[in-house]
């Protein structure tokens, strides 16, 4: 228990025992015993019973019986109940037994006292077992949740590590090709690649960022690709008003654009225009990416490679949904649509970076 719960439990337990002592004394007084004798009997009997109950509670703190070991608890209650009854009778006889009438009443009430003591011990034992089982269940659920979170974080990290080398190798090959022919562009690309990779090291896969910040980071990637492909690659990025401050998982759009560039330039000839449009629909941020493709050399309807499959898996890990990424190919245009649910309560947003002002998106 935490300190607050322990304090509450102690208060409730103490009040319950005071009520028990008071009720017992009133009952004995109602049966004809003097108030002084009834109070003394109640105090002695219930304080001894309290001590026995505390022994049971302390035992069950360190011994949690399994389903086939509950008989051990029953035996423990019987032994402690008999011990309590004998000790209670001896002390009551020694302190209050000088009156013949009370001694006769004590003898006649032993069966009722035994049943009462066993009932209290059984109730305390059952409560302890249920409480400790509930605590164990909570701990198991917490450990299970922690294990699932670790597994999810590990898979997200693995997805990221699988994506980065592919892009890095392509960029290094392009730099190598530019060094001899266009050294100025090679140096520019090295600087852009350095800025891009520095950004990936600072961002966490589970971090939320604004669309404006994600697009600013995406621009670094697109600048690198434009050095690689020259005038063949053009991009158009537009946003509807009010979408700049909507949030999405960090580094989500880069593999989507990489996939669009791959199928837009590798399998086609001539200039290629990749478009990205952001809009808001109800409580979702809608990202639409379109690129041309050749249906004879590409198979976009089957999904398109590791980039989009990793994005879809990441969205499932973050949101638990498989319907947040959709792809389609019509009239030589391949369309990727991503739906990002927005946090309903601003205090619940998992944003680890400050949101910028709602400026215009990249053009």
pLDDT in tens, 121-169: 888 888 888 888 888 888 888 877 776 776 766 665 665 555 556 667 7
CA distance 226 to 273: 11
CA distance 158 to 39: 71
The whole-model pTM stands at 0.53
**pLDDT per residue as tens digits for the range 227-276:** 778 788 889 999 998 888 899 988 888 888 888 888 888 766 777 889 99
What Rg value do the Cα atoms of the chain yield, rounded?
37
Between 342 and 188, where is the model more confident? 342
Place of tokens 């337990």: 13
In this structure, what token pair is assigned to residue 226? 């434009």
Q: How far apart are the first and last CA of the chain?
A: 57
pLDDT value of residue 299: 54
Mean predicted confidence (pLDDT) in 192-196: 78
What percent of the chain is modeled with pLDDT above 90? 10
Residue 277 has pLDDT above 90, yes or no: yes
CA distance 191 to 310: 27
What is the DSSP secondary structure assignment for residue 353, as one 8-state letter? S
pLDDT value of residue 325: 93
Mean predicted confidence (pLDDT) in 195-203: 68
Give start-end residues of each CATH 3.30.565.10 domain in the chain.
182-348
pLDDT value of residue 2: 58
Place of tokens 């103490």: 14
pLDDT value of residue 285: 93
CATH number of 182-348: 3.30.565.10
User: Out of 44-53, 93-102, 249-258, 328-337, which region has the weakest mean confidence (pLDDT)?
Assistant: 93-102
pLDDT value of residue 337: 94
Using alpha carbons, list the distances in angstroms from residue 319 to 221, 284, 322: 26, 12, 9
**Is residue 356 within 8 Å of residue 349, measured between CB atoms?**
no
Mean predicted confidence (pLDDT) in 112-117: 88
């Amino acid at each position: 228990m935490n300190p607050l719960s322990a304090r509450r439990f102690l208060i409730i337990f103490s009040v319950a025992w005071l009520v028990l002592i008071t009720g017992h004394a009133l009952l004995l007084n109602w049966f004809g015993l003097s108030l002084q004798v009834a109070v003394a009997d109640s105090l002695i009997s219930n304080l001894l019973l309290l001590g026995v109950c505390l022994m049971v509670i302390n035992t069950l703190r360190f011994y949690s019986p399994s389903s086939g070991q509950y008989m051990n608890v029953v035996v423990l209650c019987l032994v402690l109940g008999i011990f309590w009854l004998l000790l209670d009778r001896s002390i009551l006889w020694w302190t209050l037994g000088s009156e013949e009438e009370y001694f006769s009443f004590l003898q006649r009430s032993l069966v009722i006292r035994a049943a009462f003591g066993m009932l209290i011990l059984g109730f305390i034992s059952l409560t302890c077992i249920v409480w400790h089982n509930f605590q164990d269940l909570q701990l198991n659920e917490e450990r299970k949740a922690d294990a699932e979170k670790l597994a999810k974080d590990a898979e997200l990290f693995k997805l990221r590590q699988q994506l980065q080398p592919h892009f890095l190798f392509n960029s290094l090959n392009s730099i190598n090709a530019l060094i001899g022919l266009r050294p100025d562009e090679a140096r520019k690309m090295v600087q852009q690649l350095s800025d891009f990779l520095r950004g990936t090291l600072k961002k966490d896969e589970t971090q939320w960022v604004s669309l404006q910040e994600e697009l600013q980071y995406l621009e670094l990637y697109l600048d690198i690709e434009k050095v690689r492909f020259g005038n063949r690659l053009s991009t158009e990025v537009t946003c509807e008003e009010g979408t700049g401050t909507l949030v999405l998982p960090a580094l989500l759009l880069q593999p989507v654009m990489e996939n669009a560039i791959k199928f837009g330039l590798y399998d086609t000839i001539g200039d290629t225009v990749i478009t990205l449009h952001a809009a808001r629909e109800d409580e979702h941020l809608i990202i639409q990416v379109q690129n041309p493709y050749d249906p004879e050399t590409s198979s976009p309807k089957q999904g398109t490679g590791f980039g989009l499959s990793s994005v879809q898996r990441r969205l499932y890990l973050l949101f638990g949904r498989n319907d947040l990424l959709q792809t389609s190919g019509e009239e030589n245009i391949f369309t990727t649509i991503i739906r990002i649910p927005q946090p309903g309560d601003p205090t619940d947003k998992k944003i680890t970076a400050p949101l910028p002002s709602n400026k215009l998106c990249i053009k």
